[in-house]
Chains A and B, each alone.
Chain A
């Protein structure tokens, strides 16, 4: 069964440094998402991406965050200047279709654990 793959599985970065988290969504999917889960807390939505632009973002997704689909297969999340509170598990997800009332499942990768020192 096709999978969403994320690299690296664990990233350790000094506070203030830039970090890029990488994802390869399922190949025929059109909608892409990033979520994060701070240790012991709920999974939180960050951003959705469709047709090469952001379709929705949460208040967490401020100017320090950006997303990009640099080629036909990768989807990246960049944090420009990391803070201690950015430490979390970051999940990438993709779905075949999306939009407001879509009941398509979002398929999740296994996440990248980001540790900010």
Chain B
């Protein structure tokens, strides 16, 4: 069954610290993997999109990595800010489909 699993479920860090969020997927065949940020009460916002041939992609302080062989991805946040408090969702697009398959997200809280 096509699934996307994320860890940890939730994370608390202090402002200015770095953190890494993990994603494992079983979706196959696979077209691309996306990371979205979802603030409370808002819709998801795209951070990065990586095809199977890309190993890493950055968007400001966000860096995503992808290992298509082990079906793992990570999102690294550098020098966290209070505004980074949100859910970060790993999303996979299966090859040949329009739909996106969402993980449950990691809820990140950045404290001062």
In the assembled complex, 30 residue pairs joining A and B whose CB atoms fall closer than 8 Å, in A order, are: A33-B98, A33-B99, A35-B100, A42-B103, A43-B44, A43-B89, A44-B102, A45-B100, A50-B98, A55-B98, A56-B97, A58-B99, A91-B43, A93-B43, A98-B98, A100-B95, A100-B96, A101-B32, A101-B95, A102-B98, A103-B32, A103-B93, A105-B34, A105-B46, A105-B49, A106-B100, A107-B46, A108-B44, A109-B43, A111-B43
Q: Which of B95, B101, B105 contacts A45 (CB 8 A)?
A: B101
> Of residues 87 to 112 in B, which have CB atoms within 8 Å of A's CB atoms?
89, 93, 95-105
Does B60 sit within 8 A of A, measured CB to CB?
Answer: no
- Number of chain A residues close to chain B: CB under 8 A: 29
List the count of A-B residue pairs having beta carbons below 8 Å apart. 63
B: residues with CB less than 8 A from A are 31-32, 34, 41-46, 49, 51, 89, 93, 95-105
Does A82 sit within 8 A of B, measured CB to CB?
Answer: no
Does A75 sit within 8 A of B, measured CB to CB?
Answer: no
Residues of B within 8 A of A99 (CB): 98
The answer to whether A48 touches B34 (Cβ under 8 A) is: no
Q: How far is the CA of A31 from the CA of B100 in the complex (A)?
A: 13
A: residues with CB less than 8 A from B are 4, 31, 33, 35, 41-45, 48, 50, 55-56, 58, 91, 93, 98-103, 105-111
Chain B binding surface SS class? loop
Residues of A within 8 A of B42 (CB): 110-111
Shortest B45–chain A CB gap in Å is 7
Closest 10 CB pairs of A and B: A108-B43, A45-B99, A48-B98, A105-B46, A100-B96, A43-B102, A56-B98, A110-B43, A101-B31, A42-B102
The answer to whether A48 touches B43 (Cβ under 8 A) is: no
Closest partner residue, chain B, to A37 (CB atom):
B102
The answer to whether B32 touches A100 (Cβ under 8 A) is: no
Of B89, B95, B98, B99, most A-chain CB atoms within 10 Å: B98
The answer to whether B31 touches A4 (Cβ under 8 A) is: no
